[in-house]
Chain A
Amino acid sequence: METNLQTEMEHSPQSRRETAHHNEGPKPHLWAFFLSIVFTILAFAAVASEAVSTAFTIPFIIFLAVVQAAFQLFIWMHMNQKDHEFPLTFMMSGVFAAVVTVAGIILMIWW
Chain B
Amino acid sequence: MSTHVSHAHKKKNILWDYLTTVDHKKIAILYLFAGTLFLLIGGIEAILMRLQLMVPENDLFVGTTFNQLLTMHGTTMIFFAAMPLVFALMNAAIPLQIGARDVAFPFLNSLGFWLFFFGATLTNISWFTSGGAPEIGWTAYAPLALPEYTGTGSDYYVLGLQLSGAGTLIGGINFLVTIINMRAPGMTFMRMPLFTWTSFVISALILFAFPPLTVGLFLMMFDRLFGANFFDVTMGGNVIIWEHLFWIFGHPEVYILILPAFGVFSEVIPTFSKKRLFGYHSMVFATTLIAFLSFMVWVHHMFTVGLGPVANSIFAVATTAIAVPTGIKVFNWLFTMWGGRIQFTTANMWALGFIPSFVMGGVTGVMLALPPADFQFHDSYFVVAHFHYVILGGVVFGLFAGLYYWWPKMFGTLLNEKLGKLHFWLMFIGFHMAFLPQHWLGLMGMPRRVYTYLEGQQLDTWNYVSTIGALIMGVATIVFAINIVMTFVKGEKAPADPWDGRTLEWSIPSPPPEYNFKQTPLVKGIDAFWIEKMQGNKEMTPAEPLGDIHMPSPSILPFIMSLGFFIASFGFIYHVLPVIIIGMGIGLGSMLARSLKDDLGYHIHTDELQEKGV
Enumerate chain A interface residues (CB-CB to B < 8 A). 1, 3-4, 7, 86, 90, 93-94, 96-97, 100-101, 104-105, 107-109, 111
Smallest distance from the beta carbon of A14 to chain B beta carbons, Å? 19
Return the contact of B307 from the options A93, A94, A108 (Cβ within 8 A): A108
Surface stretch bound by A, among B37-45, B160-168, B204-212, B277-285? B204-212
Name the contact of A3 in the complex, choosing from B186, B245, B248 (C-beta under 8 A).
Answer: B186
Task: Give, as a whole number of angstroms, the nearest-CB distance from A74 to chain B.
Answer: 21
Q: Distance in Å from the Cβ of B523 to the closest Cβ of chain A?
A: 9
Given contacts A3-B186, A100-B296, contact A93 B204 (CB under 8 A): yes
Residue B244, interface by CB 8 Å: yes
Closest to B249 in A: A101
Q: Does B311 reach chain A (CB closer than 8 Å)?
A: yes
Residue from the list A7, A90, A108 in contact with B244, Cβ < 8 A: A108
Contacts between chains A and B (CB distance < 8 A), count: 48
> A104 contacts which of B207, B208, B248, B520 (Cβ < 8 Å)?
B248
B240 adjacent to A4 (CB under 8 Å) = no
Kindly list chain A residues whose C-beta atoms are within 8 Å of the C-beta of B522: 1, 3-4
Q: Given contacts A3-B522, A4-B522, A104-B244, are A109 and B208 in contact (CB under 8 A)?
A: no
Contacts of B212 in A (CB 8 A): 101
Task: Tell me, in angstroms, the Cα distance from A108 to B298 when the chains sit together.
Answer: 12
CB B65 to nearest CB in A, in angstroms, measures 35
- Is A109 in contact with B240, judged by CB distance below 8 angstroms? yes
A85 to B, closest residue via Cβ: B180
Give the interface SS of chain B, mostly helix, strand, loop or mixed.
helix
Write 25 A-B pairs (CB below 8 A) sorted by A numbering: A1-B522, A1-B543, A3-B522, A4-B185, A4-B543, A86-B180, A90-B176, A90-B204, A93-B208, A94-B207, A94-B208, A97-B208, A97-B209, A100-B295, A100-B296, A104-B248, A104-B299, A105-B244, A107-B311, A108-B299, A108-B307, A108-B311, A109-B241, A111-B307, A111-B311
User: B144-198: which have CB < 8 Å to A?
Assistant: 176, 180, 185-186
- With contacts A104-B244, A108-B244 taken as known, whether A3 is within 8 angstroms of B185 at the C-beta atoms is yes
Q: Which of B270-318 contact A (CB under 8 A)?
A: 295-296, 298-299, 307-308, 311
- Inter-chain contacts of A94 with B (CB < 8 A): 207-208
**Which residues from chain A contact B240 at a C-beta distance below 8 Å?**
108-109
Q: How large is the interface on B (under 10, 10 to 19, 20 to 34, 35 or more residues)?
A: 20 to 34
Q: Bound complex: CA of A93 vs CA of B522, how far in Å?
A: 32
A3 and B244: CB pair below 8 A? no
Q: How far is the CB of B30 from chain A (nearest CB, A)?
A: 28
Q: A4-B543, A108-B311 are in contact. Are A97 and B241 (CB under 8 A)?
A: no
B246 to chain A, nearest CB (A): 12
CB distance from B542 to the nearest CB of A (A): 8
Q: For the complex, what is the distance from the CA of A1 to the CA of B543, rounded to whole Å?
A: 5
* Cβ 8 A contact of A4, one of B208, B245, B307, B544: B544
**What's the Cα separation between A109 and B241 when bound, in Å?**
8
CB distance from B131 to the nearest CB of A (A): 31
- Among the listed B185, B204, B296, which residue makes an inter-chain contact with A7, where contact means beta carbons less than 8 Å apart? B185
Query: Which residues of chain B (536-554) have a CB below 8 Å from chain A?
Result: 543-544
Give B303-342 as 1s and 0s: 1 = Cβ < 8 Å from A's Cβ atoms. Answer: 0000110010000000000000000000000000000000
Of chain B, the residue at the smallest CB distance from A107 is: B311
Nearest-neighbor residue (CB-CB) of B305 within chain A: A108
Measured CB to CB, the closest approach of chain B to A48, in angstroms, equals: 28
Asked if B238 CB lies within 8 Å of chain A CBs, one says: yes
Interface positions of B from 236 to 265, Cβ below 8 Å from A: 238, 240-241, 244-245, 248
